[in-house]
Amino acid sequence: MSWDGFGSRIMNNPTPVEKNIMTENASETRNPLKILGFLIPLLPSLILRFGGEFIRFKSRAQKGGRVFQDELVRQGLDETTATRLTALYLEGSDPFKLLRSLR
């Protein structure tokens, strides 16, 4: 047995005890309850993070819609047509509709 450092002997030729430890670790990481138990504490922070991103995304889309509508009116389009076109413009920024179309 030669030792090359950094555990190369273990990876190249593991003993039966080392094999048992490796398979136990692999089975522990695939346990769905442990994965779920790991993810549940992360949910509040994920919800806050995604909620903040959603609000930021929608506010930027609304600002872009106002600029778009103002520019249409400034170019001579009547208010009702500009409102309809702006609604169509903003329809593309609805993430829930985008997710539904991906299904």
Segment 12-70, tens digit of pLDDT: 666 666 666 555 555 555 777 888 888 888 889 989 999 999 899 999 999 999 999 99
Residues 64-88, mean pLDDT to the nearest whole number: 95
For the purposes of burial, counting CB atoms within 10 Å of the CB of 61, is it exposed (0-12), middle (13-18) or buried (19 or more)?
middle
- For residue 35 the two structure tokens come to 């994965």
Q: Are 93 and 57 spatial neighbours (Cβ–Cβ below 8 Å)?
A: yes
Q: Are 90 and 62 spatial neighbours (Cβ–Cβ below 8 Å)?
A: yes
Distances (CA, A) of 76 to 50, 55, 63, 79: 39, 32, 20, 9
Per-residue pLDDT, 93: 83
